[in-house]
């Protein structure tokens, strides 16, 4: 897949058919992986602050880990986001996404191509921002996270599957149990993770409620 997808196509092959306006359920993400080692990788590393001035999120995929992906001469280096182009399952360590609450960080990851993240732990706001974009996050034990990173580095083209319903990540005959927060898991499985789209698809009902409220009169 391209590394610059505009939206997560991660519903998986068992996702239900949906109409154009509906929000897809995210039950399973399958693809290849990109390992990113290190604890406390914050949102400023993921998406440097100077790119927050952009009017839209359209180019955020190019800015993901912008500084770390380049050497002093500005040339692309061997950063995993350069070496594992096309991957959609990101494998990280502890406290990923800490720092500021900027939604540009998960936007950058999504537009680079990330559809699911498996790691030891995530900053709470970052994790919720991921949910709002349909990015599944699965927390696993330290040893399991490291084993997955090792496997991806040794087998960059191997398939990896994140099962939101079962809360597992599977690869090479291995099934690792993890945890997706209950509210996030429900939102992904029921296709209600995009609150803006949910409101749009229920516009008639929202309008009816609005009209029934005395304090919304013109």
For 86-107, write each residue's pLDDT tens digit.
999 999 999 999 998 888 999 9
Q: What is the pLDDT of residue 11?
A: 44
Q: What is the pLDDT of residue 107?
A: 95
Q: What is the pLDDT of residue 144?
A: 98
Structure tokens at 203: 């516009």
Q: Has residue 59 got a pLDDT over 80?
A: yes
- Least reliable range by pLDDT among 35-49, 51-65, 69-83: 51-65
pLDDT, one tens digit per residue, over 18-42 is 444 578 899 999 999 999 999 999 9
Q: What is the dihedral of CA 63, 65, 66, 69, to 10 degrees?
A: -140
Q: What percent of the chain has pLDDT over 70?
A: 89
Q: Provide the pLDDT confidence category of residue 202 given band limits of 50, 70 and 90.
A: confident
b/e map 95-129, b = 16+ CB within 10 Å: bbbbbbebbbbbbbbbbbbbbbbbbbbbbebbbbb
Residue with tokens 């699965």: 138
Q: What angle do CA 16, 208, 25 make, to 5 degrees?
A: 15
Q: Provide the pLDDT confidence category of residue 5 given band limits of 50, 70 and 90.
A: very low
Q: Tell me which of 132 and 13 has the higher pLDDT.
A: 132
Dist CA 58 CA 146 (whole Å): 32
Q: What is the pLDDT of residue 217?
A: 65
Average pLDDT of the segment spanning 75-82: 97
Structure tokens at 196: 């803006």
pTM of the shown model: 0.83
Dist CA 83 CA 79 (whole Å): 6
């Amino acid at each position: 897949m391209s590394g610059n997808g505009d939206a997560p196509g991660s519903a998986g092959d068992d996702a239900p058919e949906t109409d154009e306006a509906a929000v897809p359920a995210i039950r399973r993400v399958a693809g290849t992986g990109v390992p990113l080692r290190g604890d406390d990788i914050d949102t400023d590393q993921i998406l440097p602050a100077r790119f927050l001035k952009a009017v839209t999120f359209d180019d955020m995929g190019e800015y993901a880990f912008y500084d770390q992906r380049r050497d002093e001469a500005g040339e692309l280096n061997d950063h995993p986001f350069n070496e594992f182009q096309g991957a959609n399952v990101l494998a990280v360590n502890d406290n990923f996404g800490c720092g500021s609450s900027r939604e540009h960080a998960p936007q950058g990851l999504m537009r680079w191509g990330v559809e699911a993240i498996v790691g030891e732990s995530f900053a709470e706001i970052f994790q919720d921002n991921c949910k709002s974009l349909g990015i599944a996050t699965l927390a696993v034990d330290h040893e399991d996270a490291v084993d997955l990173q090792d496997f991806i580095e040794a087998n960059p083209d191997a398939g990896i599957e994140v099962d939101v319903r079962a809360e597992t990540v599977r690869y090479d005959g291995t099934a690792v149990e993890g945890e997706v927060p209950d509210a996030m898991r429900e939102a992904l499985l029921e296709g209600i993770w995009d609150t803006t789209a949910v409101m749009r698809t229920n516009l008639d009902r929202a309008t009816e409620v609005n009209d029934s409220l005395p304090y919304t009169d013109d």
